[in-house]
Amino acid sequence: MGTDIRSKRGLLNLFQRCSPEVGRHFEHLPELLADYPMEVALAYVFQRLELGQNMALYCGVVKLHRADSDVARNAIGSHHMTRRGFAELYRTVFNTDLPREAKKDLETAERTRDTIMHGGAASEDRQRNAIGRVLEFAEAANEQLHQNCQLRPFCGFWRGFAGRLQKLEPRTTRFMLKGMGFTLR
Protein backbone atom coordinates (compact mmCIF):
# COMPACT_ATOMS: atom_id res chain seq x y z
CA MET A 1 0.00 0.00 0.00
CA GLY A 2 1.27 3.43 -0.90
CA THR A 3 2.07 6.25 1.46
CA ASP A 4 -0.98 7.96 2.99
CA ILE A 5 -0.68 11.62 2.05
CA ARG A 6 -2.67 13.85 4.36
CA SER A 7 -1.84 17.33 3.05
CA LYS A 8 -0.44 19.25 0.12
CA ARG A 9 2.75 19.73 2.15
CA GLY A 10 2.94 15.94 2.59
CA LEU A 11 2.64 15.50 -1.16
CA LEU A 12 5.44 18.01 -1.73
CA ASN A 13 7.56 16.12 0.82
CA LEU A 14 6.95 12.87 -1.08
CA PHE A 15 7.97 14.60 -4.30
CA GLN A 16 11.16 15.92 -2.69
CA ARG A 17 12.05 12.40 -1.52
CA CYS A 18 11.77 11.10 -5.10
CA SER A 19 14.92 10.17 -6.96
CA PRO A 20 16.47 12.94 -9.07
CA GLU A 21 15.30 11.11 -12.22
CA VAL A 22 11.65 10.97 -11.17
CA GLY A 23 11.85 14.55 -9.87
CA ARG A 24 13.11 15.68 -13.27
CA HIS A 25 10.38 13.72 -15.06
CA PHE A 26 7.64 15.43 -13.00
CA GLU A 27 9.54 18.72 -12.66
CA HIS A 28 6.52 21.06 -12.88
CA LEU A 29 4.50 19.37 -10.14
CA PRO A 30 5.51 21.70 -7.27
CA GLU A 31 4.53 24.81 -9.24
CA LEU A 32 1.25 23.26 -10.34
CA LEU A 33 0.37 22.34 -6.76
CA ALA A 34 1.15 25.90 -5.64
CA ASP A 35 -0.64 27.80 -8.40
CA TYR A 36 -3.52 25.64 -9.71
CA PRO A 37 -6.33 23.41 -8.49
CA MET A 38 -5.38 19.84 -7.60
CA GLU A 39 -7.17 18.56 -10.74
CA VAL A 40 -4.55 20.29 -12.92
CA ALA A 41 -1.70 18.57 -11.08
CA LEU A 42 -3.53 15.25 -11.36
CA ALA A 43 -3.93 15.64 -15.13
CA TYR A 44 -0.26 16.59 -15.44
CA VAL A 45 1.08 13.58 -13.54
CA PHE A 46 -1.04 11.20 -15.60
CA GLN A 47 0.17 12.80 -18.82
CA ARG A 48 3.76 12.37 -17.62
CA LEU A 49 2.97 8.82 -16.48
CA GLU A 50 1.82 7.90 -19.98
CA LEU A 51 4.91 9.53 -21.46
CA GLY A 52 7.09 7.48 -19.13
CA GLN A 53 5.22 4.30 -19.99
CA ASN A 54 5.69 4.94 -23.71
CA MET A 55 9.36 5.70 -23.12
CA ALA A 56 9.76 2.47 -21.16
CA LEU A 57 8.45 0.47 -24.11
CA TYR A 58 10.47 2.48 -26.62
CA CYS A 59 13.71 2.17 -24.65
CA GLY A 60 13.06 -1.52 -24.09
CA VAL A 61 12.53 -2.43 -27.73
CA VAL A 62 15.48 -0.30 -28.87
CA LYS A 63 17.97 -1.35 -26.19
CA LEU A 64 16.97 -4.95 -25.45
CA HIS A 65 15.64 -6.01 -28.84
CA ARG A 66 17.82 -3.75 -31.01
CA ALA A 67 14.85 -2.24 -32.85
CA ASP A 68 15.40 0.52 -35.38
CA SER A 69 14.69 3.67 -33.36
CA ASP A 70 12.60 5.46 -36.02
CA VAL A 71 10.34 2.45 -36.60
CA ALA A 72 10.03 1.89 -32.84
CA ARG A 73 9.15 5.55 -32.22
CA ASN A 74 6.46 5.48 -34.91
CA ALA A 75 5.05 2.15 -33.73
CA ILE A 76 4.76 3.21 -30.10
CA GLY A 77 3.51 6.68 -30.99
CA SER A 78 0.73 5.34 -33.20
CA HIS A 79 -0.22 2.33 -31.04
CA HIS A 80 -3.54 2.77 -29.21
CA MET A 81 -2.34 2.13 -25.67
CA THR A 82 -4.73 0.89 -23.02
CA ARG A 83 -3.89 0.13 -19.41
CA ARG A 84 -4.20 -3.60 -19.95
CA GLY A 85 -2.39 -3.31 -23.28
CA PHE A 86 0.51 -1.50 -21.64
CA ALA A 87 0.87 -4.22 -18.99
CA GLU A 88 0.87 -6.92 -21.68
CA LEU A 89 3.42 -5.11 -23.85
CA TYR A 90 5.59 -4.42 -20.80
CA ARG A 91 5.59 -8.15 -20.02
CA THR A 92 6.45 -8.96 -23.63
CA VAL A 93 9.23 -6.37 -23.98
CA PHE A 94 10.86 -6.85 -20.56
CA ASN A 95 9.91 -10.48 -19.84
CA THR A 96 8.60 -9.48 -16.41
CA ASP A 97 5.39 -8.08 -14.95
CA LEU A 98 4.98 -4.55 -13.66
CA PRO A 99 5.93 -4.21 -9.97
CA ARG A 100 2.91 -5.82 -8.26
CA GLU A 101 2.28 -3.45 -5.33
CA ALA A 102 2.94 -0.33 -7.40
CA LYS A 103 0.57 -1.57 -10.11
CA LYS A 104 -2.15 -2.27 -7.55
CA ASP A 105 -1.76 1.20 -6.02
CA LEU A 106 -1.73 2.78 -9.48
CA GLU A 107 -5.11 1.17 -10.24
CA THR A 108 -6.59 3.11 -7.30
CA ALA A 109 -5.07 6.32 -8.65
CA GLU A 110 -6.46 5.56 -12.11
CA ARG A 111 -9.98 5.28 -10.69
CA THR A 112 -9.58 8.74 -9.14
CA ARG A 113 -8.22 10.10 -12.42
CA ASP A 114 -11.15 8.59 -14.35
CA THR A 115 -13.67 10.10 -11.94
CA ILE A 116 -12.19 13.59 -12.36
CA MET A 117 -11.59 13.39 -16.12
CA HIS A 118 -15.15 12.23 -16.76
CA GLY A 119 -16.73 15.10 -14.86
CA GLY A 120 -17.12 13.49 -11.46
CA ALA A 121 -15.98 14.81 -8.13
CA ALA A 122 -13.24 13.38 -5.94
CA SER A 123 -12.04 14.77 -2.65
CA GLU A 124 -8.74 16.60 -2.50
CA ASP A 125 -7.50 13.77 -0.29
CA ARG A 126 -8.18 11.20 -3.04
CA GLN A 127 -6.52 13.44 -5.63
CA ARG A 128 -3.41 13.98 -3.48
CA ASN A 129 -3.07 10.26 -2.87
CA ALA A 130 -3.58 9.51 -6.57
CA ILE A 131 -0.71 11.87 -7.43
CA GLY A 132 1.40 10.16 -4.78
CA ARG A 133 0.60 6.72 -6.22
CA VAL A 134 1.79 7.89 -9.65
CA LEU A 135 5.07 9.11 -8.19
CA GLU A 136 5.57 5.84 -6.31
CA PHE A 137 4.74 3.82 -9.42
CA ALA A 138 7.34 5.78 -11.42
CA GLU A 139 9.94 5.08 -8.73
CA ALA A 140 9.10 1.36 -8.64
CA ALA A 141 9.17 1.01 -12.44
CA ASN A 142 12.47 2.89 -12.66
CA GLU A 143 13.98 0.69 -9.97
CA GLN A 144 12.81 -2.55 -11.58
CA LEU A 145 13.96 -1.59 -15.06
CA HIS A 146 17.28 -0.25 -13.80
CA GLN A 147 17.98 -3.50 -11.96
CA ASN A 148 16.93 -5.66 -14.92
CA CYS A 149 18.30 -3.72 -17.89
CA GLN A 150 19.89 -0.41 -16.79
CA LEU A 151 16.95 1.71 -18.00
CA ARG A 152 15.17 4.56 -16.23
CA PRO A 153 12.24 5.62 -18.40
CA PHE A 154 10.94 8.13 -15.83
CA CYS A 155 13.94 10.42 -15.93
CA GLY A 156 13.30 13.45 -18.13
CA PHE A 157 16.05 12.64 -20.64
CA TRP A 158 16.93 9.57 -22.67
CA ARG A 159 20.12 10.32 -24.59
CA GLY A 160 22.54 7.46 -25.01
CA PHE A 161 20.37 4.84 -23.27
CA ALA A 162 20.99 2.18 -25.94
CA GLY A 163 24.71 2.64 -26.45
CA ARG A 164 26.27 1.68 -29.77
CA LEU A 165 24.38 -1.55 -30.35
CA GLN A 166 23.92 -2.69 -33.93
CA LYS A 167 20.23 -2.12 -34.71
CA LEU A 168 17.95 -4.28 -36.79
CA GLU A 169 16.94 -3.21 -40.27
CA PRO A 170 13.67 -1.22 -40.35
CA ARG A 171 11.82 -4.01 -42.14
CA THR A 172 12.95 -6.61 -39.60
CA THR A 173 12.01 -4.23 -36.77
CA ARG A 174 8.48 -3.94 -38.17
CA PHE A 175 8.05 -7.73 -38.16
CA MET A 176 9.43 -7.98 -34.63
CA LEU A 177 7.18 -5.23 -33.27
CA LYS A 178 4.11 -6.77 -34.92
CA GLY A 179 5.00 -10.07 -33.31
CA MET A 180 5.23 -8.35 -29.92
CA GLY A 181 1.70 -6.99 -30.34
CA PHE A 182 2.27 -3.44 -31.54
CA THR A 183 -0.03 -2.17 -34.27
CA LEU A 184 1.89 -0.55 -37.10
CA ARG A 185 0.51 1.85 -39.66
Domain ranges of the chain: 8-180
Q: At what angle do helices 38-63 and 100-117 cross, to 10 degrees?
A: 130
In the three-class reduction of DSSP (H, G, I as helix; E, B as strand; rest coil), residue 37 is classed as coil
9 within 8 A of 130, measured Cβ to Cβ: no
Confidence of residue 172 (pLDDT cuts 50, 70, 90): very high
pLDDT digits (tens, 9 = 90+) for 18-55: 999 999 999 999 999 999 999 999 999 999 999 999 99
4 within 8 A of 137, measured Cβ to Cβ: no
Q: 121: which DSSP letter? A: -
User: In terms of pLDDT, which residue wins out, 184 or 61?
Assistant: 61
Contacts of 21-27 spanning 24+ positions with Cβ under 8 A: 21/142, 21/152, 21/154, 21/155, 21/156, 22/135, 22/138, 22/139, 22/142, 22/154, 22/155, 24/155, 24/156, 24/157, 25/52, 25/138, 25/154, 25/155, 25/156, 26/135, 26/138, 27/156
Question: What's residue 160's pLDDT?
Answer: 67
pTM: 0.93
Q: Does the pLDDT value for residue 163 go beyond 80? A: no
